[in-house]
Structure 1
Amino acid sequence: MGKLTVKEVQGLVKGEAGRYADGDGLYLAVPKSGKAYWMLRYTTNKKRKEMTLGKVIDISLADARLNAAVNMKQHRDGLDPLVAKKRANQSHIKTTDDLFEDWHKTNIQRLKHHSIPERIYRKDIAPHIGEFSLDSVTARDIRGVLNAIAASNRPSIANDALMYCKQLFNHGIKLDVITANPASAFSVTDAGGVEKSKDRALTIKELTQFFNTASDNNDSFSRDNYLACALLVILGVRKSELAEAPWKEFNLDTALWTLPKERSKSGVGITIPLSTIAKEWLLELKVRACGSDYVFPSRRTSKNPHMGSDTLNRAITKLFGHEAGKKKQPVNKMGDMAHFTVHDLRRTCRSLLAAQGTPGHVAERCLNHKVRGIEGVYNQYDYLEERCGALDMLSNRLAGIINSSQN
């Protein structure tokens, strides 16, 4: 069969599936389903390769021949056309934002919690260097990013930002769009410092002070935030597990919350018993949700339909007299009480379970911690009944503190 004609192409596209040669490596490919397209076949290093040139509806026969000729010229000059095409696709990576978008695609496939580096990049890195061309980003710019975060008293975020900067620019080196990593010379001592193991747990007196203060400042500490903190203390779940929870996971008739493994940070699903007071708070939240699919719907315009990851920590920090991004800081309403974070409420729950005499293995299952070693393989018992009793006891102890401070 000789060279294809325009009329032949029109007929073949409407006919049976197959590949039809035009010559010089150019083929018309007609799939069983989908649109017909032009394809280039060539051999490099004794390996047959195929390269899609475009759809027939977009590229004429003459243009397809010209495209094929250009690619075959590259091949004869020693450059693999597929490699050249990949490089051309990467040529759009001009700025730090461009590089992040490419890097983030890899994270989505690789990381379970890929939203964490995205949040830190967009909030703390992009505002400083996002629009910079890649070849203009210097070590001084990285230092500016780290100093800005450190100035907001968030050392762990500064360390995370440094780690993500290193990974981001290493990705750029892999793609051959930059030759050096501007963050490579920095260590944690230049960011947030070596992080100490956290052991903050609130006492009953501190819990009372916190809920009283939150109640007295309901103009800045909303009822949703209040109930979220209350549930975190009496259930011991992780912040994201509660803040992002959809109503479909809850059965309020049986007083059970089924947390699937896909949303559990430990990767292990668990059925969480709900005490009477927890059920009452959830029923209130059901009304407040106004038909939303989520227990804590977003109260402002956001791409997330549920409460944001920083909402609770920002609300707590504001009570302590600090609000990120504000020149005029709010009044410290917590006095000389030591600052705490949302995660400290989970640790508080664990400490209070121990204080009331809950056995360690039951308390650990309340927090959905994995059982380590050989015991974790053979002991599949979930301690649901025991956890129900332990969490009921804790709820009864704290209900008076929390409900007496209701805003």
Structure 2
Amino acid sequence: MDEWLTLFDGIAENTSPYNAGVVLKVTKRALGWCMRRELINPPSVMNLEVSTIGTSKSQRDRVLELHEVGLIWMAIENTKLSLAVRNCIKLIMLTGARNSEAREAKWKEFDFDNRIWTVSKERSKTGVAIRRPLTDDMLQLVNTMKSAPSPNYVFGSMDNDFKKPITTHAIQRAVRRLRAKLNMEEWRVHDFRRTLATRLSEQGVQPHVVEKMLGHSLGGVLAIYNRHDWINEQREAYDAWYQLVIQAAEAAARRITEDQQTS
């Protein structure tokens, strides 16, 4: 089953969760034909549901409520996931970076003196380098990984002697474990991007700043003439987002304690 999950997780990351769901449906139809003619025994992929690896809709619109963000942060804090997987998911949540941008982050991309993380244009989905400021909390996450013996990647995989980054399957598997512990509507790491954008917009952060935080290319005149990354404005927005996350996590912890005391 792990091989199938790795395959579909890769499709979801490299294209979209919708495409992963479509490929699963087609695969199951083809294998079902073979089973009906007794050409093969039932393979494990027949037990996979679209909701496990993708989506049946071409576009997701899931925006997490702040209390849900707090519960997820608490679940990450209390999980037994590896340090690399745990901190990678946290960095995705705090920065709004894409899964691959965080997973495959290299030490050379981090300017610790100027506190800037630069995703090269080769790794950027838009083909343009992405510059994000590093807040104190992001720096702490990244610096914690210096104890792992990975020469190139911040989130090196133990399965490959730290010579390669952790896989998208490792992230998706961790998310499935976290989801199983939480009583809430289905969510994915990509939903953190939409959630960050929505909640910061509600706080009055300007759209062009949010777009830069997400690593999007700006349209119109801005795309042609403006090469400014609004680093200071991004930093202020990231600090505000971290406070929202931590406050939500603290509120979640209080509710859990109160429920335990009354039960």
TM norm structure 1: 0.49
Q: Secondary structure of the residue that 1:300 maps to in structure 2?
A: helix
Of 128, 137, 142, 1:277 maps to: 137
Alignment partner, residue 309 of structure 1: 168
1:226 aligns with 86
Corresponding residue SS for 2:113: coil
**Residues matched between the structures, number:** 228
Is 1:319 equivalent to 2:178 in the alignment?
yes
Specify which structure has the higher proportion of strand. Answer: 1
What secondary structure does 1:310 align onto?
A: helix
2:33 alignment partner in structure 1:
140
The CA distance in 2 between the partners of 1:224 and 1:401, in whole Å, is 23
Q: State the shift of 1:364 in Å.
A: 0.9
Q: Give the Cα separation in 1 of the matches to 2:170 and 2:67.
A: 24
Query: What is the aligned partner in structure 2 of residue 154 from structure 1?
Result: 50
Q: Which has the higher helix share?
A: 2
Identity across the alignment (%):
28
SS of structure 2 residue aligned to 1:342: coil
Query: Alignment partner for residue 397 of structure 1, among 233, 241, 244?
Result: 244
- Pairing partner for 2:217 from 370, 379, 386: 370
Residues 297 and 388 of structure 1, relative CA distance in 2, 3 Å threshold? same
Worse-matched range after superposition: 368-377 or 227-236: 368-377
* Equivalent-residue separation in structure 1 for 2:31 and 2:244 (angstroms): 55
Q: Is the 8 A contact 2:67 2:248 kept in 1?
A: no
> What is the distance in 2 between the residues matched to 1:399 and 1:253?
26
Of 60, 82, 101, which residue of structure 2 is paired with 1:198?
Answer: 60
Q: What is the match of residue 333 of structure 1?
A: 181
What SS class does the counterpart of residue 190 from structure 2 fall into? helix
Q: In the alignment, which residue of structure 1 is the partner of 2:97?
A: 237
In structure 2, relative to structure 1, the CA distance for the partners of 1:142 and 1:291 (3 Å cut) is same
Selected match of 1:210 from 61, 69, 72: 72
The question of 1:298 aligning with 2:194 is answered: no
Q: CA offset at residue 312 of structure 1?
A: 1.3
Query: What is the distance in 2 between the residues matched to 1:401 and 1:292?
Result: 35
Residue 283 and residue 403 in structure 1: after superposition, are their counterparts in 2 closer, same or farther (change >3 A)? farther
Aligned partner of 1:258: which letter?
T
Structure 1 pair 388–303 and aligned structure 2 pair: CA distance change class (3 A): closer
Give the superposition deviation at 1:295.
0.6
Check the 8 A contact 1:149/1:155 in 2, yes or no: no
Matches of 1:369 and 1:363, distance apart in 2: 9
Q: Secondary structure in 2 aligned to 1:237?
A: coil
Indicate the RMSD between aligned Cα atoms, in angstroms.
Answer: 3.6
Alpha-carbon displacement from aligned partner over 1:193-215 (angstroms, at most 9, x marks no partner): 5x242111222211121122233
User: Are the aligned partners of 1:245 and 1:296 in contact in 2 as well (CA < 8 Å)?
Assistant: yes
Q: Tell me the CA shift for residue 360 of structure 1.
A: 0.9
- With over 3 angstroms needed to count, the CA separation of the structure-2 counterparts of 1:277 and 1:397, relative to structure 1, is same
CA contact (8 A) 2:84 2:156 kept: no
Uncovered stretches (5+) of structure 2, i.e. residues with no partner:
1-10, 254-263
Give the AA of the match of 1:351.
T
Q: Which amino acid is the alignment partner of residue 306 of structure 1? A: P
Deviation at 1:244, TM superposition (A): 0.5
Aligned equivalents of 2:114 and 2:221: distance in 1? 33
CA apart distance, 1:319: 2.8
Indicate the structure whose relative CO is greater, using CA pairs within 8 Å and at least 6 residues apart: 2
Q: Using the TM superposition, give the Cα deviation of residue 314 of structure 1 relative to its aligned residue in structure 2, in angstroms.
A: 1.2
2: CA distance, partners of 1:374 / 1:211: 38
- Structure with greater Cα Rg: 1
SS where residue 118 of structure 2 aligns?
strand
In the alignment, the residues of structure 1 paired with residue 119 and residue 173 of structure 2 have an alpha-carbon distance, to the nearest angstrom, of: 26
CA distance in 2, matches of 1:157, 1:333: 18
Contact 2:106 2:154 in 1 (8 A): yes
Read off the aligned partner of 1:260 and give its amino acid letter. S
Letter in 2 for 1:233: M
With the length of structure 2 as denominator, give the TM-score of the two structures: 0.73
What's the counterpart of residue 183 of structure 1?
A: none
DSSP 3-state at the match of 2:181: coil
